[in-house]
Amino acid sequence: MRDFGQDHSALALNTASLGHNLDGAGAGWSSEQLIDACAERGFGGIVYWRRELGDRAQQIGERTRAAGLAVAGLCRTPLMVGPGTPQPLEDEVRASIDMAAALGAPVLTIVTGGTEPGTKGLGPSWDLLAERVAVACDHAARQGVKLALEPLNPMFGGNRTCLFTVADAYEICRRVNHPALGIAVDVYHVWWDSRLTESLAAAKGLILGYHLCDWLAETSHMLLDRGMMGDGVADLRAIRAAVEAAGYAGFCEVEIFSAEDWWKRDPREVLDTMVDRFRRFC
């Protein structure tokens, strides 16, 4: 297991942590400000969201690399099944993959979407998801991008996800069986899973991303009250040990949706805190 006590070059910022995901939240920094602030603090990479790039994906990718940082990934495809699926879906999936390629992002995250309207439970949605992910993988492979299925905490079932565990995501990987497909592991979504270590071992070689935050014991909002590493109850070192045992040696990206706390603070303080907590608790 890597030792981050004296070295945080594996630390990446997911820009959601500075609050841009909600209109009116966060300090409203430009991508350029954010890149410079991360470079000054020795971050290794940045993960962007599509909504902040517009038609500047290539430019922002180049600016990131010129500052000595890696583009670690892009969030995310549109929802691919369930009630929130855009029309026409295939065009928007391709556009998200093309944006990742223009940005130079090696990985694009998939939040699957929930249960397909007119169906119940998970079976029909999984069938449809596997079919659509397979099509997306062909395009991603042509563009040199990998797709990472991100299972979400079960409380997001219904409208946002039909994958709740690493084991669920692995089952879709197994069915699709495409070299462009893997799994993103987010502490917020998997910390509770007592079978996580075994599931990660089964998925060895397929882990494409690792997302950091913490689970607050007294959380107040299921989407927007994530904790800073060290403030909650997730066993961060144990999770990372299992993720690394499954072959992952890439960036650890901090992804903290926190409307009432971290998004209200000065981004400089948020970034400094991340570095400190990463070294001490992750």
Q: Which residues bind Zn ion (CB under 5 A)?
A: 186, 211, 255
Q: Cα 182 from chain centroid?
A: 12
Residue 188 CB, nearest approach to Zn ion (Å)? 7
User: Using an 8 Å Cβ cutoff, are 188 and 152 in contact?
Assistant: no
β strands within 136-240, DSSP E:
146-149, 181-186, 207-212
Residue 156 CB, nearest approach to Zn ion (Å)? 11
Residue 238 gets which letter from DSSP? H
Which backbone phi and psi does 208 adopt, to 5 degrees? -115, -5
- Integer Cα distance of 230 and 237 in angstroms: 11
Residue 15 CB, nearest approach to Zn ion (Å)? 12
Residue 88 CB, nearest approach to Zn ion (Å)? 26
Residue 187 CB, nearest approach to Zn ion (Å)? 8
- Integer Cα distance of 134 and 177 in angstroms: 8
Residue 112 CB, nearest approach to Zn ion (Å)? 13
- Integer Cα distance of 257 and 51 in angstroms: 16
- What is the C-alpha end-to-end distance of the chain, expressed in Å? 11
Q: Pick the closer one to Zn ion by CB: 231 or 253.
A: 253
User: Using an 8 Å Cβ cutoff, are 12 and 251 in contact?
Assistant: yes
Q: Pick the closer one to Zn ion by CB: 129 or 148.
A: 148
| DSSP states along 122-139 | SHHHHHHHHHHHHHHHHH
Q: Pick the closer one to Zn ion by CB: 8 or 211.
A: 211
Q: Pick the closer one to Zn ion by CB: 26 or 151.
A: 151
Q: How many CA atoms lie within 13 A of 170 on its CB side?
A: 16
